[in-house]
Amino acid sequence: MVLYLRRLGHGDVRRADQRPTSGIGLAARGLVVQVDPGRRPASARDVECLWLTAMTESACCLHISLSGHTGEARAAADALGVPLFLLDLAGTVQPVNGPAAALHRRAQGRP
């Protein structure tokens, strides 16, 4: 995950000072990331709480889940512009929504 964030241009990735309600929090200059390894899909509340945390830090955010995201979470993320990613068991990151696809293309070196 850290390698992927570095490909996005965030070389200073570290564990976040504020811990999320579930999962692992990562941060870099101008970025807050929540990695949710739970067995349930991430909810709209998970996405909204992450977005609020990022807003208090004047940062962008992205959410990564091992179990996916509910339809409500995807709708909230699209409304807020939060990139959502799915992390498979092999550690491969897959974009779930439009903002995530744009970041993924950037990580791949494509416009």
Q: State which H helix or E strand residue 65 sits in.
A: strand 60-65
pLDDT per residue, tens digit, the chain (111 aa), is 778 888 888 888 888 877 766 778 898 999 999 999 889 999 999 999 999 999 998 999 999 999 999 999 999 999 999 999 999 888 888 999 999 999 888 877 766
- What class has domain 2-107? alpha beta
Give the domain ranges of the chain. 2-107
pTM, to two decimals: 0.88
Rounded to whole angstroms, the Cα distance separating 6 from 109 reads 13
